[in-house]
Chains A and B, each alone.
Chain A
Amino acid sequence: MSFEKIRIASIYLFLWVMAFLSIFPFLWMLISATNESNDITKGKLSFGNAMVANYQKFAALFDVGLVFWNSAKIAIVGSVLTLLVSSLAGYGFEVFKSPTRERFYQGILVSMMIPFATLMIPLFILLASFDMLDTHMAVILPTIASAYMVFYFRQNTKAFPPELRDAARVDGLKEWQIFLFVYLPVMRSTYAAAFIIVFMATWNSFLWPLIVLQSVELKTITLVLSSLGSSYTPDFGVIMVATIMATIPTLAVFFAMQRQFVEGMLGSVK
């Protein structure tokens, strides 16, 4: 009996320690943003009053509003277009099965295995030939071609009842009308989960924007943060403010739609 008690107590201890370790960098980020750079490096773990000063230093280096807007624009436009294109395709592959299309679909699945490092140079050359380097569209376009999201929507379309579709056909709706007015509203939780996943991925994306975007006025928050972090004399206060700004939108989306996010992740294993 006492052994069982020790076991349960040690499980609680283990879980709380792990939870603390998981949250600690976030807490430290919050605390540090209110302190001056040399206090941060000394390991000060109490709130200070340098938050506004840190933000002002950050704002003196970059147009914070613009940086934020760039990230938001790429993430939102990219996500909406990705969802539209890949849900159409997922629906098409599942509802209108044909041997030829199955082969195309298998090709898409195989292309999912190819790492981004293999694509990046030809993509860079391709977008240069379109004369699109150093534009936000160049960041967004390859995002829209998401094999993973086509797979995700096809998997989830299997749960869409065929009776609804047939009833709509009998009622005389065109196929695109069925998609828009029946499928889309019925599948909105699938869309919500997909939106979170794509939004987070595009908001956080780093390597591709790093290659494509050169102009300072086009840079996203991740690029700005990376350049702050790699400077020779880093101002940790400024870095912490930038880290917070880069993290807030994803945290907000996560807490607002936590359930859909987890469901969406698990949707890919089903």
Chain B
Amino acid sequence: MRQASRPGYRIFYDINGWAFVSVALLLIGTFMVYPIIQSLWMSFHAGQGTMVRFIGLGNVERLTSDPMFLRALTNTFIFLVVQVPIMIVLALVLASCLNMPNLRFRGLLRTAIFLPCVTSLVAYSVLFKSMFSYDGLVNSVLLQLAIIDQPVPWLTDPFWARVVVIAAITWRWTGYNMIFYLAAMQNVDKSIYEAARIDGISATRRFLSITIPVLKPVILFTTVTSTIGTLQMFDEAMNITGGGPADSTLTLSLYIYNLSFKFVPNFGYAATVSYVIVVLVAILAFFQFYVAREKD
């Protein structure tokens, strides 16, 4: 600290500081900050190329009367509200089972359940699409077991298409969230559980009143990251269902992609839709942190 007050040292300190961070700042400035500002600017404009004109909040107005946008927004919320809770609960239950003392084959079971999150989003999407195709594996197995008497139109019925997408994301991400819980559970003092067990408190109660409260910050972290991930979902919607049938699995990101590169390009409107995601991410993250802080 005494050194830091010498002016020569300060300059040395500063030059080195900037030297180390400069390349990253330059790149992040060019490829993140600039695009963020640029897309905000674009969201107030309509048209393309040299025909761009300022329309103020015109794009925002258009959002409210765009059925396809409202569809994408609804779908994204359905995925969020149904899938994230299922996955978080499943991951918690799996983690607490794997954390059971004297569990045999622990490493093997853990690796197996974690493995899906190593695959690429495209690869597993294509796999799920093949498995759930009309004459695909799932239908033939269910038919052979006589659980159903005619094939289920998994990918061509709006309801079942959503079910397949939800099943797919759950398969891919549950193990990922589970690892965080498992790591957090290993930091919990074992003697607390021992004491509770001796007092005759049931396993369910131990889970609800010891494990869950201790894990709250980690649960919050995984909920926020899963929510942000679902809000940005693209690869699965594109590769399992292509957004269909009848736009029942169209996500916001896929709609932005379509607006920019598939339909007649409308970058200004696409940028506006993308800021809807930004606003949602900000609101949800804020809300989740608020809920978590409240009780402390």
Q: Which residues of A contact B (CB under 8 A)?
A: 7-8, 11, 14-16, 18-23, 25-26, 28-29, 32, 40-43, 85-86, 88-89, 91-93, 95-98, 101, 104, 107-108, 111, 113-126, 141-142, 144-145, 147, 150, 175-176, 179, 200, 203-204, 206-207, 211, 222, 225-226, 228-230, 234, 236, 239-240, 243, 246-247, 250-251, 254, 258, 262, 265-266, 269
Contact = CB atoms under 8 A, between A and B. Distances in A.
B7 to A, nearest CB: 14
B42 interface: yes
Contact of B278 (A8, A114, A121, A251): A114
Interface string B136-166: 1101110010000000000000000000000
A118 B24 contact: no
B78 interface: no
Contacts of B136: 41, 43
A25 B128 contact: yes
A19 B113 contact: yes
Contacts of A108: 24, 28
Contacts of B253: 115-117, 207
Contact of B130 (A7, A176, A204, A234): A234
B119 to A, nearest CB: 5
B82 interface: no
Contact of B175 (A22, A29, A236, A247): A22
A91 B23 CA distance: 13
Given A15-B98, A147-B32, A117 B277 contact: yes
Given A43-B144, A258-B111, A250 B14 contact: no
B127 A25 contact: yes
Q: For the complex, would chain B's binding face be called helix, strand, loop or mixed by DSSP majority?
A: helix
Given A23-B112, A123-B31, A207-B235, A118 B121 contact: no
A22 B112 contact: yes
A85 B183 CA distance: 29
16 contacts: A7-B203, A25-B116, A40-B137, A95-B20, A115-B228, A118-B271, A120-B256, A121-B39, A121-B42, A126-B34, A206-B121, A229-B122, A229-B239, A246-B120, A250-B120, A262-B183
A228 B126 contact: yes
A234 B242 CA distance: 15
B120 A222 contact: yes
A202 B180 CA distance: 23
Contact of A92 (B17, B235, B282): B17
B125 to A, nearest CB: 7
Contacts of B14: 96, 98
B19 interface: yes
Contacts of B30: 126, 145
B118 interface: yes
Contacts of B79: none
Contact of B119 (A104, A120, A247, A269): A247
Given A25-B131, A41-B135, A107-B33, A207 B234 contact: yes
Query: When A and B form their complex, which 3 residue pairs have the shortest distance between CB atoms, in order from nearest?
Result: A92-B20, A96-B17, A43-B140
B10 to A, nearest CB: 9
Contacts of A225: 122-123, 126
Interface of B: 13-14, 16-21, 23-25, 27-28, 30-36, 38-39, 42, 93-94, 97-98, 100, 108-109, 111-116, 118-131, 133, 135-137, 139-141, 144, 171, 175-176, 179-180, 183, 203, 218, 221, 228, 231-232, 234-235, 238-239, 242, 252-253, 256-257, 260-261, 267, 270-271, 273-275, 277-278, 281-282, 285
Nearest to B116: A22
Contacts of A92: 16-21
A25 B32 contact: no
A124 B257 CA distance: 12
B59 to A, nearest CB: 13
B232 A117 contact: yes
Contacts of B13: 96, 98
Given A119-B35, A234-B130, A250-B119, A42 B24 contact: no
Interface centre among B38, B42, B133, B281 (most CB of A within 10 A): B38
Contacts of A32: 130
A111 B28 contact: yes
A125 B259 CA distance: 15
B144 A96 contact: no
A28 B128 CA distance: 11
A191 to B, nearest CB: 16
